[in-house]
Amino acid sequence: MKVALVAPTPSNGAWGGAQRAVAGLQRAIAVERDAEVDLATLAVDESTLPGLIDACDRFHRLDVSAYDRVVSVK
């Protein structure tokens, strides 16, 4: 089974708890479900409303048609 794990990343490149949680989720799905899990991330500027709107639009246009399942974080 092919799974896409879709998650935002901070536009400033910071690495924190959310990113660790996503990495853990990716490993858990791969191991527990014996699945091929691809992480699809997009940088998101959450400091402004236009940045959030742009991120929503880019996530909406993301092509995940090649996957059997899609897990979206946030």
- The residues, any chain, with a CB within 8 Å of residue 15's CB and separated by 6 or more, are none
pTM: 0.83
- pLDDT at residue 71, as a whole number: 97
pLDDT tens figures, 2-48: 999 999 988 777 778 889 999 999 999 999 999 999 999 999 998 89
In contact, 9 and 43? CB cutoff 8 Å: yes
In contact, 6 and 59? CB cutoff 8 Å: yes
Order of strands, sheet of 2-10, starting from the edge strand that comes earlier in the sequence: 36-44, 2-10, 69-72
- pLDDT at residue 41, as a whole number: 92
pLDDT band at 58 (very low <50, low <70, confident <90, very high): very high
Rounded CA gap, 45 and 65, in Å? Answer: 26
Count CA within 13 A, CB hemisphere, residue 26.
Answer: 17
